[in-house]
Structure 1
């Protein structure tokens, strides 16, 4: 895996949901895309354009050895968000170790708030004569730490607003992902999960008829 690749699925969901989905599953079991500083760095680089941080040159990005603390905070934030999503959705799937590791609801909320407050960031206007003005993001910390705090801030906006009521747990067989319901007929995180769920229903229906 290179610095620019992540094993996590990126489905175009809001960033807090994408972060929750760094825990994913296939036929071989459940996987964690953030199981190392390298994995955390790869995921943050993959979503850099959406956070406003870590989108510069490789020289601006800390090495894996310097990434241990941002990686730890990113994992803690991810686990807290999965705990909050399970609370919102009444998730009927077995609670995975990542969500249970976040503790109770109060512990997950405290973790989210703590990460959001770790590194301040603010907007700055860049405008050179003859060029189009641009909004840029500035931070008092490293780009990696700022990206994690910015993710927490976005998660607070998600769970603190009405959109939290659109968060869904994908109930396709074997799936552990979440998604934001953006259409009244949407039931699954992806087309492949929908196909798998329909195939499972078809199998159960025909097996019942045969019996």
Structure 2
């Protein structure tokens, strides 16, 4: 099990983007794996078919583009914005009184529409809200994950990536010192 990147516990859209990692590691590689991923992230437990899986992976690619655009301070591709907006419209949410508070609840509970709409609305909240300025890509070579940078010195999505970078830097220094000693 991979350690969650900072912010994944607050943003299921960030967790969705990070469901594909270095190499061919993909938590959404098959319908059963996608359903398990949804359960792990406390999203509605739904049966995921092949078409549903495609909707989730298309949404993941669109949200990745939004986060990359935020991190690079550029506008996202229009198709990514359209994909996220369409997914957000897949299921309406309506306010419900759950005494003594108000909650927003799906009008189509237990469906894939509810899941993709929930993920898309979270992506919209991130991109259009205060969390958007915190989105950063991991700076470790080969890592493709994003995280919320809430500490000015943080550069990596996990201690594993930070350790890899430090070990590589140390190895480079050792090699440079050996080569300098031969001259």
1:158 shift after superposition: 0.8
Please give the residue correspondences for 1:32-51 in structure 2 after superposition, counting only pairs within 5 Å.
32-48=26-42, 51=43
Please give the residue correspondences for 1:150-165 in structure 2 after superposition, counting only pairs within 5 Å.
150-165=118-133
* 1:123 equivalent in alignment to 2:95: yes
* 1:89 equivalent in alignment to 2:71: yes
Sort the Cα spacing of 1:88 and 1:134 in 2 relative to 1 into closer, same or farther, 3 A.
closer
1:8 shift after superposition: 6.4
* 1:173 equivalent in alignment to 2:138: no
Count of matched residue pairs: 173
1:185 shift after superposition: 1.5
What TM-score do you get using the length of structure 2 for normalisation?
0.82
Please give the residue correspondences for 1:50-199 in structure 2 after superposition, counting only pairs within 5 Å.
51=43, 53-54=44-45, 61-62=46-47, 64=48, 67-90=49-72, 105-127=77-99, 133=100, 135-143=102-110, 144-199=112-167
Unaligned stretches of 5+ residues in structure 1: 1-6, 55-60, 92-103, 128-132
1:31 is matched with which residue?
A: 25
Q: Could you report, residue by residue, the CA deviation over 1:75-121 in whole angstroms, capped at 9, with x for unpaired residues? A: 11101111222222239xxxxxxxxxxxx711111111110111111
2:15 is matched with which residue?
A: 18
1:8–1:24 Cα contact (<8 Å) kept: no
1:41–1:71 Cα contact (<8 Å) kept: no
1:81–1:108 Cα contact (<8 Å) kept: yes
CA RMSD of aligned residues (A): 2.3
What TM-score do you get using the length of structure 1 for normalisation?
0.72
2:3–2:158 Cα contact (<8 Å) kept: no
Sort the Cα spacing of 1:46 and 1:123 in 2 relative to 1 into closer, same or farther, 3 A.
farther
Distance 2:91 2:72 in 1: 32
Q: Which has the higher contact order (CA 8 A, sep 6+)?
A: 2
1:192 shift after superposition: 1.1
Unaligned stretches of 5+ residues in structure 2: none
1:85–1:167 Cα contact (<8 Å) kept: yes
